[in-house]
Amino acid sequence: MSSTLLKYREALPSDSAEISRLVKVYVDDEEFLSYLRYCLEGTAYGSSLGFVAETEEGKLAGFTLFREGLHFTEERNDYFDIIRRDAGSGKIWSSVIVVTDEKSMRRGLGLELFSKTADRLKEKGVNCVLMEIWVRSTGWKPAWGLVRKYPWKTLKVYGTVRNFYSEAPGRENYVCHVCGHPCRCSVEVTVGTF
Ligand SMILES: CC(C)(COP(=O)(O)OP(=O)(O)OC[C@H]1O[C@@H](n2cnc3c(N)ncnc32)[C@H](O)[C@@H]1OP(=O)(O)O)[C@@H](O)C(=O)NCCC(=O)NCCS
Ligand SMILES: [Zn+2]
């Protein structure tokens, strides 16, 4: 993978199978994958936006997906009132996911994909982005390194929601690839502004 030239382009609904392949390594959960497919469909209507890094063979090495409005990947709304109040009349989008395949990690791919998407949102007049920063039960925050590198105007952590996934409504049976069951991963609710 490392020697192959990568092409960056916007994500499309037809990327669904490749995106599921990449995500399954980390979250092999049909409910989550079907939520991602739903968000990916939104790229056809302008309600979602993402970028993919594609190899010459048509395989994806990574992707991002963002969604219009204030949404977590689970049905929760922690901190939404205060985030809305801070945003005022500004347009808010939410980051759904950023993933690179294991062979392509730590080569700047995640940051490139994330930056391309954020830059495009900024051009579209979006004012702020909600990010659900996954805090694994080990304390490791895989996406924090790239999120803090993006040149935000402001970057604010609103707080941590413990057991974010396992205590979401209807998710008692959620199995995490890091913790198993029950999942003890948390989320840092973070907002970046342009
Ligand atoms: C999180 C993820 C997308 C990062 O993608 P990536 O292409 O590896 O990241 P980049 O190479 O662009 O790194 C950007 C910065 O993040 C930090 N970083 C990334 N991976 C790191 C690691 N394993 N250890 C320490 N810092 C790391 C670094 O600061 C890095 O910049 P640097 O290399 O110049 O120091 C990727 O690791 C991944 O897919 N992880 C599994 C899925 C996941 O957890 N996604 C996030 C939850 S939505
Ligand atoms: Zn977990």
CATH of the domain at 122: 3.40.630.30
Tokens at 10, concatenated? 């916007």
Q: Is 183 domain-assigned?
A: yes
- pLDDT of 124-180, one tens digit each? 999 999 999 999 999 999 999 999 999 999 999 999 999 999 999 999 888 898 888
State the residue for tokens 């989550």: 32
For residue range 77-119, what is the model confidence (pLDDT) as tens digits?
A: 999 999 999 999 999 999 999 999 999 899 999 999 999 999 9
Q: Which ligand is nearest to the CA of 139?
A: 2
On whether residue 94 sits in a domain, the answer given is yes
Bridge-based pairing state of the strands 92-100 and 154-161? unpaired
180/72: higher pLDDT: 72
110 CA distance to ligand 1 middle (Å):
6
Ligand 1 pocket mutation pick from 19, 111, 150 by most atoms within 8 angstroms of CB: 111
Do residues 94 and 80 make contact, with C-beta atoms less than 8 angstroms apart? no
Q: Is the pLDDT of residue 1 over 50?
A: no
Domain that holds residue 159: 7-193
**Residue 129, in any domain of the structure:** yes
Cα 56 to the center of its chain, rounded Å: 25
Asked if residue 1 belongs to a domain, the reply is no
Q: Is the pLDDT of residue 56 over 60?
A: yes
pLDDT value at 2 more than 70: no
Q: Is residue 132, in this structure, part of any structural domain at all?
A: yes
Provide the CA 115 distance to its chain's centre, in angstroms: 12
CA distance 10 to 99: 15
Q: Domain for residue 85, yes or no?
A: yes
Q: How confident is the model at residue 194 (pLDDT cuts 50, 70, 90)?
A: very high
CA distance linking residue 55 with residue 42, whole number of Å: 24
What would you report as the CA-atom Rg of the chain, rounded to the nearest whole angstrom? Answer: 16
Bridge-partner residues for 68, per DSSP? Answer: 93
Output the residue whose Cα is nearest ligand 1's atom 48. 97
- 3-28 per-position pLDDT tens digit: 567 999 999 999 999 999 999 998 88
Displacement of CA 24 from its chain's centroid (Å): 14
Q: Count up the domains in the chain and report the number.
A: 1
The backbone torsions φ and ψ at residue 131, rounded to the nearest 5 degrees and listed phi first, read: -125, 130
- Residue with the smallest CA separation from ligand 1 atom 21 is 106
| 2 occurs within a structural domain | no
Query: What is the pLDDT, as a whole number, of residue 177?
Result: 86
In-domain check, residue 101: yes
